[in-house]
Structure 1
Amino acid sequence: MASLNDISKGSQGSQLIDLNGSEKRNDYMDYMSHLQNSAAQLRYENSVLKNDNANLVSKLDRAVSKSRNGVEIPENATTAEIAEALEKLNDENCRLKREMERLIRSNTRYRVAMQNKDPSLIPSEEQDKSFFNSDDSGGRLCQCEYILNEILEAVSYKLETYEKHIWEHRLATLTSERDEIAVQNISLVDRLAEIEAIIKVDHVLAERFNVPLEGCDEKNQILTLHRKLGFALDVNQQLERRLAFETQLSRSWQSNMHTIVSEVSFF
């Protein structure tokens, strides 16, 4: 039979095993509770970020829709002024795109640092910024919201001066220029006809300028009219080329705006 000492030692050993197992279970339960709380916090922050992204994309869509037809240009603006304005707009869009990419990279660093609870992942020049805007753990918003708001404010500021109907204004301007040139051509043709009529009835002037007398050569009159018509057609072709150039600039601007919206939506 086992002695009383052996039985006592066995009982103490089983109590130690039970105690160790209980402590491990408690640690495990605490760890699982911590994981659940962390997961709930991350889900909440993710929900807030998704809502902010959705609001930003919606606002950008409305802004792009309002400015889809371009910038407001005075009706009396010249082609050179319009081309310069569109070129500046294209450069500004490129600058905004680079700034947006920088903000997205910074936002990604903040998100990773927040998830890993590791501030060392943030560049030293940005470590003075807080991850959250409140001490309330249930209502804290991550730095992503500020960065997205910066993007929205930058784009909205540049879009607030842009209005609709760029091509209506530009087409009206080009049409006005074309009509004005056409009127000038008609006036010039009439003036040349008057001068030619004076020369043709004067023998001295006709001989000096090598112009046949009135009624001598109708073919020359037809050739003169053809030359004038060719000049007018050439002016119209120049206007069409300028309009095509303006159209290309506008499409490039619209492409840049759609790129900004798509990149923000993807993020």
Structure 2
Amino acid sequence: MFVRLIIALLLVSGPVAAQSTRTPSHCHALADATPGLEYIHRASLRTVPEETVDIHYISHASFLIRSAGGLNIVTDFTGFIGSTPMIPDVVTMNHAHESHWTAFPDPEIPHVLRGWGESFGEGVTHRLDLGEVLVRNVSTDIRSQAGGVEEDGNSIFVFEIAGLCIGHLGHLHHMPSDEQFAAIGRLDVVMAPVDGGMTLDLPTMISVLERLRSRIVIPMHWFSGYTLDLFLDGMSDAFTVVQVEAPLINLRRDALPSQPVIMVLRPDYLRAD
């Protein structure tokens, strides 16, 4: 039954009412209000129903997250956002590899959140409250390109929106510590890299996801159907697998599945005509 509910959400449409406040989420970490913020651009994209969120898989580790009030967020932003011309309101980036960031984001993007600090190993802390969306991060270590470890060189970004807690694990290279799991908090939805080597090996990634126990897991950062299938096989005992065969899902907190689900989204360039 819960699978049908999730798939049915893809067909939901309705009027948008601009929201000035965020629906309370059950994420434990909250940001102080940030006055004086303005949105300089609203993309003319699909209408997002009230109290829901759109998640659109662009490519690799990039997703477009859209609120009912018209806020547009792109994760692991490289400058590519697909076929729809727009200026996002927020972009997040990680710098493990050039396919997760750009050194030249459009200067008209109001909020560019880098997942690393100004100095090597310094890390960074983000608490960006835009009213209906809160964006925060938890720093983790990465293997540096010089062969060592860059402490706090990656960020797990968490988006609190429409009462949901959505996490993007970025280029995760190690099992988070107890303190990092506590800082992440409870996630309803998590985007997880499942390449099996460039980030975490699959057994460790599966352990991370089993501990998070998110209602919905969206695989990302997979380079072939082979590694994706290995991940799905390893998760099949505890998670139901749903092949969405589309790049977009629309989620509502009160319609989340009662049991954990893996939802396999397909970017437009991977879909058969």
TM-score in same-fold range (> 0.5):
no
| TM-score normalised to structure 2 length | 0.19
Q: Which has the higher contact order (CA 8 A, sep 6+)?
A: 1
The structure richer in helix per residue is 1
Q: Name the TM-score, length of structure 1 as normaliser.
A: 0.19
More strand by share: 2
